[in-house]
């Protein structure tokens, strides 16, 4: 029997100029470059005899790296994980909605553990609440000439073609609503690489005074922002959670006074509700706080904030100018991942309550919504973007949830898919009603085929009374 090969530790040696520390877990030497005259890199210098006098400790801001203990104070001032100053447009939880502890049950049991009678009761409530809804949405699959060359490129793979078809249809729907034009600011929520804004920019050609604000909460690689060099289009990327974004305080909006068009491609779960509340709050919510709930901001002396401001103005001898709010010219958002919605942030709570439903029903409906796209009929039904790296809200959530809770076996695959679609429809209808209450004309429609994306519903909305600024620039 041949002798076994010697381990790298026994015969190997670090490459010239590289760290001499042997990483047992990786079975190789560290590959970091060392300083002149040193044997170990800074990370592993504590193992060297000549560095024993200095102790390295875990960084308190990020334990994934270490730092010399005697240099901790200096390191904390420049560590990439330090808390950075918040911009003016960061307002803590401005789009989070009002938290009502009384409506959140302490504990939910998995759907698979629900008694069959309770599950049947939930399904009966769902079907009753969905009776008046248009279960068959209109097909608004469209395209746009701006993507013609890209769609016909023979180098495209299956994944790229699916993305381009969706972007083309979204762009076609934006144009149908007459939202493509000069003097607008397109705010792309959950922008990811920014491809949707990229195609909107191409479709606008030489339109003047067009701005793009790309909202993404995580650092994104391979962004397409750098491809835009037109003088009449300005791109700005904001790394912020939509939950804390105040549109009124974004410098470009307050400076240019442009109407806003909110767009998004597969805006994942709760991010859709946060974006809708962000847009409604920016355009004014007619006496409400933008959350769909009665305003809770009252002073201890019983006066509302508006009353207090009036009193202060009288003391100064004149009224203060009201803060400017950007008018919302339209909303076009491709919906996604209803199983990642949250009752606190959901904008359709008032609609649910009107139907006799609450947090308990919402929890199970949003969990059951995954039945519509979880591939219950086999892998062939999952040929959509979940396997293609579809862009979402930056958190990397897939279109479908591989850990979706298994329902009792008494339901057939067709029944489960039908129930899942009804759950999605009910949740989306609550969003549409929220927009209707705040002065918009909303619509839900299919914008692409299920084979292109199982998440193929588009939410659109325009003001019931046309935005004057948008009309003037049309």
As a whole number, mean pLDDT of residues 334-360 equals: 93
Judged by average pLDDT, the poorest of 131-140, 194-203, 212-221, 358-367 is 131-140
Model pLDDT, residue 387: 34
Query: Quick check: is 301 in a domain?
Result: no
If asked whether residues 58 and 179 sit together in one domain, one would say no
Model pLDDT, residue 83: 83
As a whole number, mean pLDDT of residues 209-237 equals: 82
pLDDT tens profile 31-44: 999 988 888 888 88
Model pLDDT, residue 363: 93
Model pLDDT, residue 9: 43
If asked whether residues 152 and 258 sit together in one domain, one would say yes
As a whole number, mean pLDDT of residues 136-142 equals: 88
As a whole number, mean pLDDT of residues 194-200 equals: 93
If asked whether residues 143 and 54 sit together in one domain, one would say no
If asked whether residues 161 and 216 sit together in one domain, one would say yes
If asked whether residues 124 and 71 sit together in one domain, one would say no
Query: 275: domain range?
Result: 111-283+326-376+413-463
Q: Which long-range contacts (CB under 8 A, 24 or more apart) does 86-92 make?
A: 87/238, 87/240, 88/249, 88/251, 89/238, 89/240, 89/245, 89/246, 89/247, 89/249, 89/250, 89/251, 90/240, 90/244, 90/245, 90/246, 91/244, 91/245, 91/246, 91/249, 92/244
As a whole number, mean pLDDT of residues 260-286 equals: 85
The residue from 51, 77, 103 where one domain ends is 77
Query: Quick check: is 190 in a domain?
Result: yes
User: Is residue 382 pLDDT above 80, yes or no?
Assistant: no
Query: Quick check: is 474 in a domain?
Result: no
As a whole number, mean pLDDT of residues 292-319 equals: 42
Model pLDDT, residue 210: 92
Query: Quick check: is 302 in a domain?
Result: no
Query: Quick check: is 103 in a domain?
Result: no
If asked whether residues 255 and 362 sit together in one domain, one would say yes
Query: Quick check: is 269 in a domain?
Result: yes
Query: Quick check: is 392 in a domain?
Result: no
Model pLDDT, residue 316: 45
User: Is residue 322 pLDDT above 80, yes or no?
Assistant: no
If asked whether residues 252 and 117 sit together in one domain, one would say yes
If asked whether residues 185 and 59 sit together in one domain, one would say no
User: Is residue 463 pLDDT above 80, yes or no?
Assistant: yes
As a whole number, mean pLDDT of residues 314-332 equals: 68
Query: Quick check: is 471 in a domain?
Result: no
Top pLDDT among 141 and 302 is at 141
As a whole number, mean pLDDT of residues 113-126 equals: 91
User: Is residue 317 pLDDT above 50, yes or no?
Assistant: no
User: Is residue 352 pLDDT above 70, yes or no?
Assistant: yes
If asked whether residues 336 and 270 sit together in one domain, one would say yes
If asked whether residues 149 and 67 sit together in one domain, one would say no
User: Is residue 401 pLDDT above 60, yes or no?
Assistant: no
Model pLDDT, residue 299: 40
Residue 233 pLDDT grade (very low, low, confident, very high; cuts 50, 70, 90): confident
If asked whether residues 430 and 336 sit together in one domain, one would say yes
If asked whether residues 47 and 190 sit together in one domain, one would say no
User: Is residue 173 pLDDT above 70, yes or no?
Assistant: yes
Q: What percent of the chain has pLDDT over 70?
A: 75
Dist. CA 365–CA 339, nearest whole Å: 8
Top pLDDT among 3 and 142 is at 142
Count of structural domains within the chain = 2
CATH number for the domain harbouring residue 242:
3.40.50.150
User: Is residue 313 pLDDT above 90, yes or no?
Assistant: no
């Amino acid at each position: 029997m041949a002798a076994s090969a010697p381990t790298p530790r026994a015969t190997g040696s670090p490459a010239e100029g590289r760290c001499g520390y042997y990483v047992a877990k990786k079975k190789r030497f560290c590959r970091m470059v060392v300083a002149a005259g040193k044997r170990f890199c800074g990370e592993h210098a504590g193992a060297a005899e000549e560095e024993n006098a200095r102790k390295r400790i875990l960084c308190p801001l990020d334990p994934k790296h270490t730092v010399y203990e005697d240099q901790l104070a200096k390191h904390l001032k420049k560590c990439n994980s330090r808390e950075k100053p918040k911009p003016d447009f960061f307002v803590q939880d401005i789009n989070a909605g009002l938290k009502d502890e009384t409506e959140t049950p302490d504990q939910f049991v998995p759907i698979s553990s629900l008694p069959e009678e309770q599950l049947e009761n939930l399904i009966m409530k769902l079907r009753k609440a969905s009776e008046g809804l248009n279960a068959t949405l209109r097909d608004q699959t469209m395209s746009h000439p701006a993507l013609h060359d890209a769609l016909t490129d023979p180098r495209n793979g299956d994944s790229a073609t699916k993305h381009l078809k969706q972007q083309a249809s979204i762009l076609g729907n934006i144009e149908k609503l007459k939202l493509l034009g000069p003097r607008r600011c397109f705010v792309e929520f959950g922008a990811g690489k920014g491809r949707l804004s990229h195609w909107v920019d191409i479709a606008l050609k030489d339109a003047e005074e067009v701005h793009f604000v790309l909202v993404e909460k995580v650092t994104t690689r391979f962004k397409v922002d750098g491809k835009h060099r037109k003088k009449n289009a300005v791109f700005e990327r904001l790394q912020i959670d939509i939950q804390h974004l105040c549109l009124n305080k974004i410098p470009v909006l307050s400076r240019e006074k442009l109407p806003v068009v909110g767009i998004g491609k597969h805006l994942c779960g709760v991010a859709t509700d946060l974006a809708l509340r962000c847009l409604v709050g920016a355009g004014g919510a007619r006496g409400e706080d933008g959350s769909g709930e009665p305003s809770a901001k009252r002073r201890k002396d019983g006066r509302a904030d508006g009353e207090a401001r009036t009193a202060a103005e009288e003391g100064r001898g004149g009224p203060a100018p009201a803060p400017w709010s950007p008018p919302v010219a339209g909303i076009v958002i491709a919906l996604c991942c209803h199983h990642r919605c949250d009752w606190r942030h959901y904008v359709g709570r008032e609609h649910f309550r009107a139907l006799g439903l609450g947090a308990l029903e919402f929890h199970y409906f949003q969990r059951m919504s995954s039945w519509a796209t979880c591939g219950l009929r086999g892998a062939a039904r999952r040929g959509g973007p979940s396997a293609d790296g579809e862009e979402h809200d930056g958190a990397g959530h897939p279109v479908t949830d591989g850990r979706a809770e298994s329902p009792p076996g008494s339901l057939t695959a067709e029944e489960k898919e039908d129930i899942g679609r009804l759950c999605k429809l009910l949740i989306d209808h609550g969003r549409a009603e929220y927009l209707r209450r705040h002065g918009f004309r909303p619509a839900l429609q299919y914008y692409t085929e299920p084979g292109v994306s199982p998440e193929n519903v588009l939410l659109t909305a325009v003001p019931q009374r046309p935005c004057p600024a948008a009309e003037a620039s049309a």
